[in-house]
Structure 1
Amino acid sequence: MMREFEIERQFDIKIETLKANKGVYYLKTNKGEKCLKKINYGPQKLLFVYGAKEHLINNGFSAVDKYHLNIDGEPYALVNEDLYTLSEWIEGRECDFHNIDEVKLAARTLAKLHEASKGYDPPDNSKLKSDLGRWTHLMSKRIKSLDKMRDMVRKKNNKNEFDLLYIKSLEFYKGIGKKALKTLEESDYEKLCEIAQEEKSFCHHDFTYHNIILDGNNECNVIDFDYCKREVRTFDISNFMIKVLKRVDWDIDFAIAIIDSYNEVSPLLNSEYKVLYAYLQFPQRYWRLANRYYYNEVNWGQNTFGGKLQSIIDEQEVMLNFLNKFKEKYNLE
């Protein structure tokens, strides 16, 4: 009860109903429906996220889960050393990535978000979050870590299903990882980072179906900016594309629809297609799953991990086929 009382006191609200809902809390209050969320990072990072959302709203992109300020004008409540944010509850449903019209709407929304993000100067006491210029290093590091995890498997006496699948598939993913790194190194990545730096733009960094909410008017709202940071926009586009493509058997028509819809709002430069291709090539999902498994980042069961790895491996052929079609469509060397 103490916790609820503190939330009420610090945000100056009265809670009528409180329900847990997918990692957050739904609140019905005397000031309307709200979303309460415990965050696992510090106040300086939160101020960057808060500032980013306010910047979007001020630039005409208001379809976000706006934060409420506490009685001291801060975007959080501090309860027993835990930080909580309170934002607008956006009623609606998650974007359906099998529906090409909804995917197109989401792509146009992402382009509007990127346009509105330009010119963002974070608050003075915030911590700047940026991945600009880091991707050649990150790809290289992740390719090396695939070998490190293989060495961990070799030292195991009892190898399970996941270990055997990993050993068997490693060379394939290491190979395409190296190709992706080469593509990125041969692209205008550094120049595009400089442009993003000058534009002072940022990316959402987790633009996926559960963060894209379609309301009653079929308007697209974007929530959960916890991972937003300075980044080239092709990262957001590729991340979104992969989340869609893995659900539609890597159908090139969906990829083209995303790019065409994005370009309607904010046309991509010719030099951005190669960087986008490098991100699409890189085996990020394979690396992340292995990383989570071998470094115990997630508490899933053995079968879940094995099943997820097998489904990634099963996509090899359709994914390579897609990459070839993409390369051809956008005249990439």
Structure 2
Amino acid sequence: MFLEKVEKAYGFNVESYEKIKNIYKLITDRGIYCLKVSKYDLKQYNFIISAMNYLIDKGYEHILPIYKTIEGENYLAIDDGYAYLTDFIDAKEVDFKDLTELKMCIEAIAKLHLASRGFKYEIRIRDYYGRWIEKFKKRSSELLYFRAICESKDEKSEFDSIFLKYFDLHYRQSLKCLKDFETSNYFKIMESHKRLHEICHHDTANHNFLITHENIVLIDYDYVIMDTHLHDLASLLIRNLRYGNWDIKLFNFILNEYSRYIPITLEEIYLIFCFMEFPQDYWQVGLQYYVEKQPWTEENFLKRLNRVVLDAEGRFKFLSELEGLYGKYR
């Protein structure tokens, strides 16, 4: 059992433990800890730990410090992955619909971007600067691949029929996204942003923001990358607006709150619009169904797809309004 290795590495005795998603809550003779396990290769894992330690060293207050092993290491190898140790905190996940809690999240992510500035890594890894267009071109092509798989079936499922029904609408939007990016100042803006050497958390879901009685903590840095702060900001906007919340007032609220820490130019808002244009959720559910073949029920897949297509009308209307406001700043 890997817990024996953990006990030896940190010098405590585990009295009991509980597995919660990808962490272990350890009750020990020295207190309660969180063991965060990841199944990455060592090169990827070293990048994650380096990024976290950089934030900690810069005094970023919304991250849990990492405990070193007895031998002074930041992590240990266990089974087919690696793990690091932090305190286990008594906290609740934030509710994005609570504007006070949302403001706290915006502040936490903006301060992460500020604290991360100047981060450099010895090899080029997880570097997304200037790669948005490349990424969206690839995903646009993958949409065609998903359709080809679907059309090759002799007997189509209900999921297939719905996916095909809404394919042209979403594929055309992926092409418009690419066209708008290519006529923007994306590369020019990224050249200036790249000099900041920022870190993006890259998973700004509400369950990664935990509120304690005295602080908000941002957890799970498994997807951390190097990229412009606009990446996390655009993702946070999408997470708050999608599935029936497409409201320009909410968009402006998040943008204005973030701009209190890092000002956003009109040209940068246009890049955020372009980022939001790509039909990410439609692509994601297609990938999960046709390529990854996630072990979910057909009912689960249908629920996910229907949620996306039912959201399409409000999403398209919002994007049209946003383009009307910021399209001239391309």
Same fold (TM over 0.5): yes
Aligned twin of 2:84: 85
Aligned twin of 1:203: 200
Distance 2:16 2:248 in 1: 46
CA RMSD of aligned residues (A): 1.8
Aligned twin of 1:113: 112
Q: 1:279 aligns with which of 275, 283, 290?
A: 275
Q: Map 1:253-332 to 2 at 5 A.
A: 253-330=249-326, 332=328
Q: Map 1:1-333 to 2 at 5 A.
A: 2-122=1-121, 124=122, 128-217=125-214, 219-330=215-326, 332=328
- Count of aligned pairs: 329
Q: Quick check: 2:95–2:206 contact (8 Å CA) kept in 1? A: yes
What's the offset of the Cα at 1:185? 1.4
CA gap 1:229/1:241 in 2 versus in 1, 3 angstroms: same
Consecutive unaligned residues in structure 1, runs of 5 or more: none
Distance 2:292 2:118 in 1: 39
Q: Quick check: 2:62–2:108 contact (8 Å CA) kept in 1? A: no
For 1:108-151, what per-residue CA distance to the aligned partner results, in whole angstroms no more than 9, with x for missing partners? 221111111101123x5x76321112111111111111111111
For 1:86-106, what per-residue CA distance to the aligned partner results, in whole angstroms no more than 9, with x for missing partners? 222232111101112221221
Q: Quick check: 2:45–2:82 contact (8 Å CA) kept in 1? A: no
SS in 1 for 2:37: strand
Distance 2:293 2:49 in 1: 27
For 1:227-250, what per-residue CA distance to the aligned partner results, in whole angstroms no more than 9, with x for missing partners? 111112111111111111125521
The one-letter amino acid of 2:209's match is I
SS in 2 for 1:119: coil
The one-letter amino acid of 2:38's match is I
The one-letter amino acid of 1:95's match is V
Identity among equivalent pairs (%)? 27
Distance 1:196 1:240 in 2: 19
For 1:286-328, what per-residue CA distance to the aligned partner results, in whole angstroms no more than 9, with x for missing partners? 1011011101352111111111111110111111121123234
The one-letter amino acid of 1:197's match is K
What's the offset of the Cα at 1:26? 0.9
What's the offset of the Cα at 1:194? 1.9
Distance 1:189 1:284 in 2: 19
CA gap 1:164/1:15 in 2 versus in 1, 3 angstroms: same
The one-letter amino acid of 1:186's match is T
For 1:13-40, what per-residue CA distance to the aligned partner results, in whole angstroms no more than 9, with x for missing partners? 3222211112321112244322113211
The one-letter amino acid of 1:307's match is K
Q: Quick check: 1:104–1:257 contact (8 Å CA) kept in 2? A: no
The one-letter amino acid of 2:323's match is K
Distance 1:198 1:110 in 2: 19
Q: Quick check: 1:143–1:178 contact (8 Å CA) kept in 2? A: yes
TM-score, normalising length: structure 1 = 0.93
SS in 1 for 2:199: coil
SS in 1 for 2:217: strand
Q: Quick check: 1:19–1:26 contact (8 Å CA) kept in 2? A: yes
SS in 1 for 2:40: coil
Distance 1:32 1:269 in 2: 47
Distance 2:265 2:137 in 1: 25
What's the offset of the Cα at 1:262? 0.1
Distance 1:68 1:129 in 2: 25
Which is worse superposed, 29-38 or 97-106? 29-38
TM-score, normalising length: structure 2 = 0.94
Consecutive unaligned residues in structure 2, runs of 5 or more: none
The one-letter amino acid of 2:277's match is Q
Distance 1:28 1:135 in 2: 43
The one-letter amino acid of 1:5's match is E
**Shift >3 Å, 4+ stretches:** 328-333
Which is worse superposed, 296-305 or 72-81? 72-81
Q: Quick check: 1:289–1:305 contact (8 Å CA) kept in 2? A: yes
